[in-house]
Amino acid sequence: MDIFSSVGRLHLESHKDLEQAKKLTVLDETKVTKVYLPAVAPNGTDANVLVKAGDHVLVGTRVIERKDFYVPIYSPVSGVVVGIESINHPNIGHPVKHLVIASDGKGEKLPNALKTIDPAKATKDELCLAIKEAGITGLGGAGFPTFIKYTGVKNIDYILLNGAECEPYLTTDYLAMQLYTSEMLQGAELLRLASGAKEVVIAFKVHKEAVKEALDEHIGRFPLIRYVEVPDVYPMGWEKFLIKQIFNRTYDKLPSQAAIIVNNVQTAIAVKRALIDGDVISHRLVSVNGDGVMHPGNILVPIGTPASLIIEALGGYSTEEVYLLPGGPMTAKAAEDDTFPIQAPMGGLTVLKGRFYPDEPCLRCGACTAVCPAFIQPVEIQIALEHKDEERMTQLNVSKCVECGLCAFVCPSKIEVSENMKRAKRYLKFVATRNAVKK
């Protein structure tokens, strides 16, 4: 921890070696013999599996469809469907059904998997529909279906492309903005057209000279797109923070209330590839970083590749005891093992040498409250959770917690404060469902 910039903002040691981050390893696809795609929505509810064991698939064959929102999922490889297997899902916290596809390593594409579009002629509705059919979900971590942000929106002023990537260790946005600059700008323009916004603003943190250089080379062709640099504090990538910082606007629930739509920079790249090239999301950049992996770096892998294979490709673990986090160290929780596959919104694997800190009692020091960007009182919520006092948890606005992890980061007693916030939210949901059933 370095300095408190102000309440709710903290400058963190970034652990980002920007020179190393520019080097990309491409995983040898012949080594990926099987890919695993969760046949569930992010909340664990079942999705429809559209193929059966023995079916031949190509990159772009529609294989799963989520039931909660309309989100088609396409095969990232060519090969043969093996069947369904139960595998650990690190975000859900227990094993769930995964569709298993044996890859032939050829990456053969299904011709016309997606209908391409002429942006000069397409209407807003046609652009939204194309984004929906492409099954694009946010690639910045949340995995929310992109089309929902655009469907039926009116009076949007700005599209904000979020490249702030504020968690330590993660650098895939940084790399993607340099490698695929022109594609990102084309995707940004498509998103602007789909919303009717007057401008696109691309945000990234200061001292990213390579990104500025890449953008300066291409941005002249896009008169309605500009970029801004934002301070290097955490959680600057949280959209509420970013919107306040750049536009001095606030909102209650959704950025659209402030006439803004926020997307990750890599989502814009996926939109360009889907709508202009007809390509589904089949691969993803992953930052593998931390002192627990031999050769940290960024790697391009097919979606569904097991974490174990990715770590092996980067030289393996540096020690026997490691914590493997599917994401950044501030928000991800250590996975039980490395069998889980990479999913589209998962941009990082943080691998840290095992450190065991036993919980000490709460000191009532107030550090967690002082740092909370949502201005809630984590320490009081923890106490209410211990007493299962749902009224108090509601009064204390636990629902406003954005799960940024700062409270746990500053806690001198090493208490998993942000995990307790998640538990409190889950508890309130459980109580609400139980009460609804009773009625």
Q: Which residues bind ligand SF4 (CB under 6 A)?
A: 362-368, 371-374, 376, 378-379, 401-407, 410-413, 415, 417-418, 421
Which residue's CB is nearer to ligand SF4, number 280 or number 367?
A: 367
Contact 208, 228 (CB under 8 A): no
- Kindly state the tokens that stand for 251: 């909102």
Per this entry, what is the length of the chain? 439
Closer residue to ligand SF4 (CB): 142 or 363? 363
Least spacing, CB of residue 235 vs ligand SF4, in Å: 7
* Nearer CB in complex with ligand SF4: 278/378: 378
What residues have CB less than 8 Å from 420, skipping those under 6 apart?
378, 381, 382, 385
Instruction: Indicate the residue among 81 and 407 with the shorter CB distance to ligand SF4.
Output: 407
Whether 333 and 106 have beta carbons less than 8 Å apart is answered as no
- CA separation for the pair 169, 272 (Å, rounded): 27
Nearer to ligand SF4, 198 or 414 (CB): 414
Q: How far is the CB of 282 from ligand SF4 (least distance, A)?
A: 33
Shortest distance (Å) from residue 251 CB to ligand SF4: 16
Please say which residue, 156 or 406, places its beta carbon nearer to ligand SF4.
406
CB 312 to ligand SF4: min, Å: 33
Angle at 369 between CA 290 and CA 358, to 5 degrees: 50
What sign results for the dihedral spanned by CA atoms 315, 321, 324, 328?
A: negative
Q: Left, alpha or beta for 60 (phi > 0: left; psi -120 to 50: alpha)? A: left
Shortest distance in whole angstroms from residue 380 CB to ligand SF4: 9
CB proximity list for 319: less than 8 A, separation 6 or greater: 292, 353, 354
- Measured distance CA(258)–CA(247) in Å, rounded: 9
Query: Shortest distance, CB of residue 306 to ligand SF4, whole angstroms?
Result: 29
In this complex, which beta carbon is closest to ligand SF4, that of residue 292 or of residue 326? 326
Are 140 and 268 within 8 A, CB to CB? no
Task: Supply the minimum distance, in Å, between the C-beta of residue 1 and ligand SF4.
Answer: 12
